[in-house]
Amino acid sequence: MSEARVSIEKLAFGGSGVGRIDGKVCFVPYSCPGDELLVRITAEKRSYLNASIIDIIIPSSRRVTPSCPLFGRCGGCDWQHVDYDCQLEAKRSILADALWRGARVPVELVRETIASPLRYGYRSRVQFKLHGRSQRLQIGFFRQGSHFVEDAPAGCPIALPVINQALQRLREVLAEFPEPDMIPQINIDCGDHGAVAIVNYIGRDADRTAAFFKKKFSSLSPLTGLYLQTGRKATLCRVCGDDLLVYGLPDGHGGECSLGFRPGGFSQVNGLQNRAILALIRQFAAFGGHERILDLYCGNGNFSLPLAGEVAHLTGIEEYPDSIAAAVDNARRNGIQNAEFLCSDATAGITRLAGEGRGVFDTVILDPPRSGAADAVGALVRSGAEKIIYVSCDPSTLARDCGHLSGSGYQVLASVPVDMFPQTYHLESVTLLQRV
């Protein structure tokens, strides 16, 4: 492939830096705005180029030294080489560009990115890959673009310290396990006061494996629980210790709402930024105490249950039974009596409520998966909500859905990027839409 010189102008969703070669957009991984680079063209498409760095001719003033020795090989982080203020600016720009392209939202309606108080050591859920035998066991992450496991002997810099401590204990125990090549993956999930490991086992003797880890559990501190998974998520089985992870969120009255989730269930990976998102929802909603609110894709009630004391009634809809069970348990744990939860996909759930004469809401909160909420937009509009507060982890699907909603009588009033994932291109956002 040919070589060329390129100046990097900005960062793109996906992690690469962006420049132009002979007028054509060029994406360069691990580059930084302000870099002057010599690159090798690795792919030429009709409308863009991909390239890799041969030499940094003039480094950007915004380059910093990555904290992780695996950076550039591990497929996890994209931007450890970029100073943090530049990361925040890039995330606002990415969100603003997506909203303009997909929904014609003016850039001035996109606020500054809310920075994470922790730039490293924030992640409360990590999936480690394993490869090899006892004396040469590699535990870490897949190399970029491959299934080769890069060993991470010191753990992961963006993980909570308790996760790295638990990983070290697991390394020591796995050195005695008779078939470590039958464990391809270990997940570690954390609450505020506990950490649970899920050991994925593909061998033939699950009972012996469970007995081994139960015997060794006292050596696995700071883990407070351990599960074994032998296939799909339905095979998840507790071996010992905690069967619930708990964290707290402000309840709006000076107290804390205690929320639990089962190991292997969904939870936000950055606890402090989860609080920041809840604060934005409160600010945008400006509840007066009389509202009926709908929480679509409600999970364990993460965003709606802390708001229960500020509204008349809340309804949560979620299609995963385990998450609904957790939401019901969380309402009971906190003595919340003005909440109900339906196990259903979003559209069917809203349609069912409408058929029962209970389908009108003042405010809708939704936090859909990465694919967005396109299938539910029509039902959302029929709910009659004055406000829609859209929590998103994907700018493009958010923009698409806002475009559909703007064609159905809603207007974006504000959108706020939230840096849930420092050192990566991923971002969360909270967008307020108002019926016009």
> For residue 132, what pLDDT is reported?
86
Tokens 């100046």 belong to 7
Could you tell me if 375 and 306 are in contact, meaning their C-beta atoms sit under 8 angstroms apart?
A: no
> For residue 403, what pLDDT is reported?
96
Q: Quick one: tokens of 106?
A: 């003016």
Instruction: Tell me the pLDDT band of 135, cut-offs 50, 70 and 90.
Output: confident
Handedness of CA 215, 221, 227, 228 (dihedral sign): negative
Residues of the chain with CATH 3.40.50.150: 89-117+270-435
> For residue 133, what pLDDT is reported?
73
> For residue 168, what pLDDT is reported?
96
Phi/psi class of residue 202: alpha, beta or left (left: φ > 0; alpha: ψ in -120 to 50)?
alpha
Average pLDDT along the chain: 95
Strands 256-261 and 17-21: unpaired
Task: Taking residues 286-309, report their average pLDDT.
Answer: 96
Provide CATH code, domain 89-117+270-435.
Answer: 3.40.50.150
User: In this predicted model, what pLDDT tens digit does every residue of 343-353 receive, in sequence order?
Assistant: 999 999 999 99
> For residue 6, what pLDDT is reported?
97
User: In this predicted model, what pLDDT tens digit does every residue of 306-319 receive, in sequence order?
Assistant: 999 999 999 999 99
User: In this predicted model, what pLDDT tens digit does every residue of 139-186 receive, in sequence order?
Assistant: 999 998 888 999 999 999 999 999 999 999 999 999 999 999 999 999
Instruction: Tell me the pLDDT band of 265, cut-offs 50, 70 and 90.
Output: confident
Catalytically annotated residue among 77, 156, 298, 393? 393
Task: Taking residues 286-292, report their average pLDDT.
Answer: 96
pTM over 0.85: yes
Q: Quick one: tokens of 94?
A: 């990415």
> For residue 14, what pLDDT is reported?
95
Could you tell me if 307 and 298 are in contact, meaning their C-beta atoms sit under 8 angstroms apart?
A: no
May I ask the CATH class of domain 125-245? mainly beta
User: In this predicted model, what pLDDT tens digit does every residue of 77-105 receive, in sequence order?
Assistant: 999 999 999 999 999 999 999 999 999 99
The verdict on whether 393 is a catalytic residue reads yes
How far apart, in Å, are the Cα atoms of 306 and each of 80, 295, 410? 34, 12, 26
Residues of the chain with CATH 2.40.50.1070: 125-245
Round to whole Å and give the CA distance between 326 and 332: 10
> For residue 1, what pLDDT is reported?
65
Provide CATH code, domain 3-63.
Answer: 2.40.50.140
User: In this predicted model, what pLDDT tens digit does every residue of 367-417 receive, in sequence order?
Assistant: 999 999 999 999 889 888 999 999 999 999 999 999 999 999 999 999 999
Q: 232 burial class (0-12, 13-18, 19+ CB within 10 angstroms)?
A: exposed
pLDDT at 134 over 70: no
